[in-house]
A and B are shown apart, each in its own frame.
Chain A
Amino acid sequence: MSRLERYLKLSKKHRLALVLLLPSLAFVVAFTYYPILFGMWMTFFDFFHRPITDPVYVGLSNYQQVFTDDVFWLSLRNSTIWVAASVTVTFLVGFGVALLLNEKIGPLRTLFRGLMLIPWATPVLVSGLVWRLIYSRDWGILNETLLNIGAISTPIAFLSDRTVVWPAILLFFVWSRFPFVSLSILAALQSIPASLREAALVDGANTFQRFRHVIIPGVEPTIVTILLLTTIWGFNDFGAIYTMTSGGPAHFTEILPTLAYGYTKGYGLGNYGRASVVSLVLFLLTFSVGIFYIKRVVRD
C-alpha cells in the first residue's frame, strides 16, 4: 500500500505522535546520524590537498596509512591509559568529596556545592587557559609558590616536561570534572533513608560495616552509571588536553580526539579521510562502553 494509505490507517493518536516527533527527530537524524554515515563513507576517500568537493576514491589506503602511523598507536595508547587514569582519579576524588559533603554541615554544604559548580560550569577553553598560566614556567603561580617555599630550585615546565605533563593535565581535568561525580553521588547518598543508617548504628555496626552494607548498596546504581558516563566522556574529551598541550610536546600527549582534529585543521591540514578513520576507531571504543549504558537505562 502506498505511504499515504499507510499514514491514514494509523490511529489518530499515532498520527499525532508522528507529527510531534518529526521535527526534533529529523534534526537529530540530519545532524547526527547522517554525518556519522557520511563520515564512514569518507574514510574511503582521499581529501588531502584536494578541493573539498572532489575527493578521490582510494579504497583502504587511508586505513593503511593510519594503522601504520606510530602516532596513531601512541594516541590510542594514550587515550586508553588516560581514560583509565582520569576516570579513576575523578571518581575517587568525587566520591570522597561527596562523602564529606554528606556530613551534617548545614549551610556550608550549599556554599561548597555552589563553589564546586564553578569549575564544572566554565568553558573548558577558558579554565584551561587559566591553568596554563598557573603552570607556566616563566610566570606561573605554581612555580612561583614552589620556589618560594623552597620545594624546588628551578622552575618546572609543567606542560612541556614529559615527566610531569600527564599529572599536570590530570590535575586540571579532575578539578574541572569532579563536581559532576560528587553532586551525583551526593544526591544518591542523601536518598539513603536515615532510618537505615540509624538502624545499622543501633545494631552495633562500626563505620566500615556501615559503609559496606548500607552506603554501598544505596549508591551502587549511581556509581555504575557515573563510571560508564565518565568513561564515555573521557574518550571523547577534546578540550582539556588540547588547551593544555595541543597534543604536544611532539605528540606525547596526543589522544585520539586531538589526533583527529590535527588531521582536520592542524598540521595534516585537510586530511579528512584519515581524520575520519581515527574518529571511527574512537567511535568503536566509545560505543562498546556506550552499549552497557544504554542497556542500563532501557532497563526501566
Chain B
Amino acid sequence: MFVTSLKTGGDAISKDPSWIPDPLTFDAYPWVAQNLAGSFEFTFVVSVGSSFLTVFLTIFGGYAMARLNFPGKKALSIAYLAGMMFPPILIGVPVYVLFARLQLIDTFFGLILVYTSTSIPFSIWLLRGFFKSIPPSLDEAALVDGCNRIDAFFRVILPLSLPGLVVSALFSFLMAWNDTLFALILTNENMTVSVKMLFWITGWYRSTFWPGIMAGGFLAILPPVVIFVVLQRRFIQGMTAGAVKG
C-alpha cells in the first residue's frame, strides 16, 4: 500500500492495473523532468530558503531561551507556543490580502517569509532543548578564557549544537516542502510541486498521463522520505520529547 502505487506507475502501464509492469520503461521521467522542473526548482528554493532563514533566526532566540532568564520569559514561551497553534487558514486569508497588496503573491520571497514564520516557534523550542543539553560550565570556561559572551557563543556552543541545527533545518525544510494551504493560496502561476500535481489530477491542467503523474509523485516524496528515514531517531526524539514530558 505504501509505495507500490508509485512504483507501478513510474513505468508505462495500461488501464488494467497489474503489479509488475509489462513494458518496463522509464519514459515517464523525461516527461516529468520537462513539466515539473520549474515546480521542483521553485519548491526547492522556497524550502531551502525558509529552512536557512529559520535556523539563522532561531539560533539566537533559542540560545536566549535556554540560557538567560529575564522578565516575561514565560509569557514569551506562551506566545511562541500559541503561534504554533493558530489555524493556517486564519493566517492564510489575511496574508493573502496583505501579500496581494505588496505584490508578494507567486514569489519565492513571499512563501519563504510565511514558511519561516511558521517554522520559527517549533525551531526555537527544538534548539532551546539542544542548547539546554550543553552544560553551562562550557559557557563559563569560555568566558574565563577571555571570550565575551558572543565569542563564547560562536566558538564553543554553536559547533557543539550542530546536530540540533541540522535537525531544525531539515524539519523546516520538510514543513515547507509538504505544505498544502499556503502553497495553494499564495501562488497562481509559480506552483510548488504538490500543487501542480493536484491540478494535474483535478482540473486546471488536466492530464491523463498517469505514469508521468506517478513518477512526479514519486520524486515529490523522495526528499521528505529520505530525510525522515535518515533522521528517524532524531525526529522521533524531537516529536516525542515534548509529548512525553507533557
A interface residues, Cβ below 8 angstroms from B: 13-14, 16-21, 23-25, 27-28, 30-33, 35-36, 38-39, 42, 47, 52-53, 110, 113-115, 117-130, 132-134, 139, 141, 144, 175, 180, 183-184, 187-188, 191, 221-222, 224-226, 229, 232, 235-236, 238-239, 242-243, 246, 256-257, 260-261, 264-265, 272, 275-276, 278-280, 282-283, 286-287, 290, 293-294, 296-300
A-B contact pairs, 28 of them (CB 8 A): A20-B60, A25-B61, A27-B57, A27-B116, A30-B117, A31-B118, A35-B91, A35-B95, A39-B91, A115-B2, A117-B228, A118-B228, A122-B225, A124-B178, A127-B221, A129-B217, A184-B244, A188-B240, A224-B246, A246-B202, A260-B93, A261-B92, A264-B92, A278-B89, A280-B90, A282-B89, A294-B85, A297-B242
Per the bound structure, the CA–CA distance linking A180 and B236 in Å amounts to 9
CB of B12 closer than 8 Å to a CB of A: no
Interface residues on B, range: 35 or more
Q: Is the interface of A mostly helix, strand, loop or mixed?
A: helix
Choose, from B24-32, B132-140, B155-163, B191-199, the stretch at the interface: B191-199
Given A121-B228, A184-B243, A20 contacting B64 (CB threshold 8 A)? yes
Per the bound structure, the CA–CA distance linking A114 and B233 in Å amounts to 10
Per the bound structure, the CA–CA distance linking A300 and B83 in Å amounts to 19
Report which of B61, B114, B180, B235 forms a contact with A24, defined as CB distance below 8 A.
Answer: B61
Per the bound structure, the CA–CA distance linking A32 and B228 in Å amounts to 27
CB pair A16 B149 closer than 8 Å: yes
Per the bound structure, the CA–CA distance linking A265 and B181 in Å amounts to 11
Chain A residues contacting B178 (CB-CB under 8 Å) are 121-124
CB pair B89 A279 closer than 8 Å: yes
A98 to chain B, nearest CB (A): 11
CB pair A32 B86 closer than 8 Å: yes
Per the bound structure, the CA–CA distance linking A265 and B177 in Å amounts to 21
Q: Is the interface of B mostly helix, strand, loop or mixed?
A: helix
Among B1, B71, B124, B179, find the residue whose CB has the most chain A CB atoms closer than 10 A: B1
Given A52-B97, A121-B225, A238-B180, A129 contacting B197 (CB threshold 8 A)? yes
Chain A residues contacting B221 (CB-CB under 8 Å) are 118, 121-123, 126-127
CB pair B225 A126 closer than 8 Å: no
CB pair A235 B60 closer than 8 Å: no
Supply 4 further A-B pairs (C-beta < 8 A) apart from A236-B88, A275-B89, A279-B93.
A19-B60, A20-B61, A133-B201, A261-B181
CB pair B236 A187 closer than 8 Å: yes
Chain B residues contacting A23 (CB-CB under 8 Å) are 57, 60-61
Given A141-B17, A261-B181, A28 contacting B121 (CB threshold 8 A)? yes
B70 to chain A, nearest CB (A): 5
Per the bound structure, the CA–CA distance linking A24 and B88 in Å amounts to 19
Report which of B60, B74, B94, B113 forms a contact with A42, defined as CB distance below 8 A.
Answer: B94
A276 to chain B, nearest CB (A): 6
CB of B100 closer than 8 Å to a CB of A: yes
CB pair B246 A187 closer than 8 Å: no
Report which of B15, B90, B100, B240 forms a contact with A184, defined as CB distance below 8 A.
Answer: B240
Report which of A129, A144, A278 forms a contact with B201, defined as CB distance below 8 A.
Answer: A129
CB pair B60 A123 closer than 8 Å: no
Report which of B15, B83, B213, B243 forms a contact with A225, defined as CB distance below 8 A.
Answer: B243
A28 to chain B, nearest CB (A): 5
**Those of B178-215 within 8 Å (CB) of chain A:** 178-181, 183-185, 193-195, 197-198, 201-202, 210, 213
Closest A residue, CB atoms, query B87:
A236
**Those of B49-97 within 8 Å (CB) of chain A:** 57-58, 60-61, 63-65, 68, 70-71, 74, 76-83, 85-97
Given A141-B5, A221-B246, A225-B246, A39 contacting B90 (CB threshold 8 A)? yes
CB pair A276 B78 closer than 8 Å: no
Per the bound structure, the CA–CA distance linking A19 and B116 in Å amounts to 19
CB pair A279 B87 closer than 8 Å: yes
Closest B residue, CB atoms, query A265:
B185
Report which of B87, B120, B217, B245 forms a contact with A27, defined as CB distance below 8 A.
Answer: B120
A114 to chain B, nearest CB (A): 6
Chain A residues contacting B213 (CB-CB under 8 Å) are 129
Chain A residues contacting B87 (CB-CB under 8 Å) are 235-236, 257, 279, 282-283, 286
Chain A residues contacting B114 (CB-CB under 8 Å) are 31
CB pair A17 B70 closer than 8 Å: yes
CB pair B195 A125 closer than 8 Å: yes
CB pair A126 B194 closer than 8 Å: yes
Chain A residues contacting B95 (CB-CB under 8 Å) are 31, 35
Report which of B6, B64, B101, B120 forms a contact with A53, defined as CB distance below 8 A.
Answer: B101
Per the bound structure, the CA–CA distance linking A52 and B178 in Å amounts to 29
